[in-house]
Amino acid sequence: MTKIKGLALAVGLGFSALATAHPTWLLPSHFSVSKAEGSWITFDYTASHTVFSVDKPASAHDAKIIMPSGATERPDFVLKGQRRSVFDFFFIEEGTHKVVVANQDPLYLTFYTDRRGDKGKIQANKITREDKLPRGATDAKTMAIIKHTESYVTVMAPTEIKATNKGFEMVPVTHPADLIENEAFTFSYLVNGKPVEGVEVTLTQEGAQYRDAQDALIAKTDTNGEVEFTVASAGRYLLAANQRYKLKGDSMADMATTMLHTTIEVQLD
């Protein structure tokens, strides 16, 4: 199996841009439906540095539900408020659904070196950067910043979750419906279908605002792109990982950084 390591790109300003960006999270009211006649589930979506704490407004107009059959549906009753967005969906098809909110229009940042040798950045893609770069600028590289937020809902019985093999993604090794406290569970991280080693993954339980510290668990993916966690208590958790990777033949950017956040539920033993 081909493996790729995290790219060490010399774009220091890109890290500061990510550091100031508010992470997004998606929180379903329920993670499972146990009746064949189906059930409505509601979702909260917002941007916040505190896990599952409502803070900044974020739009869910790009939300989609990937059905067990592979079909894609849009949610119902999407509403953007001043601090969060909400939407509902009626889950009835048996199996595991992937619920995703991903920005369809990434933020494009172009990094460059000016005539004095100083580093700079502008908001522009590969097409528009030529008209915006300072005269004499060199080493121009454009990065697309992608926010991808997701969770899973299982109706009746779990089904296999397959990789899309596109961009940076998480594929559960342990099914999201089978996460149990005090039992190890594993996730796999891929870039364009290939395992990526060395990705730092953070797992944070809800209620961080009531603790003296985040108490997050941090681990890095191994040579198979896999990371393993064991938690001592049931509850809702947020998985967070960022990855930068090169783009080939993309007209808008030379590279991309995906901020990937996955909400999971760990059940009682």
Amino acid at 189: Y
Segments making up each domain of the chain, as ranges: 4-266
Question: From start to end of the chain, where are the E strands?
Answer: 4-5, 24-28, 32-33, 39-47, 64-66, 72-73, 76-80, 85-91, 95-102, 107-113, 119-123, 138-155, 168-172, 185-191, 194-197, 200-205, 217-220, 226-229, 235-246, 255-266
Q: Sign (positive/negative) of CA torsion 46, 172, 166, 71?
A: negative
What pTM did the predictor assign? 0.88
Q: What angle do CA 188, 193, 197 make, to 5 degrees?
A: 50
* Structural fold of domain 4-266: Immunoglobulin-like (2.60.40)
CA angle 27–53–34, rounded 5-degree value: 25
Stretch 49-56: mean pLDDT, rounded? 88
Task: Calculate mean pLDDT across residues 7-14.
Answer: 43
User: Of 8 and 264, which is predicted with more confidence?
Assistant: 264
pLDDT of residue 21: 60
Could you count the other beta carbons within 10 Å of the beta carbon of residue 160? 9
Cα separation of 241 and 238, whole Å? 10
pLDDT tens figures, 59-113: 999 999 999 999 999 998 899 999 999 999 999 999 999 999 998 789 999 999 9
Q: How far apart are CA 155 and CA 178, in angstroms?
A: 13
- Alpha helix (H) residue ranges in the chain: 12-20, 129-132
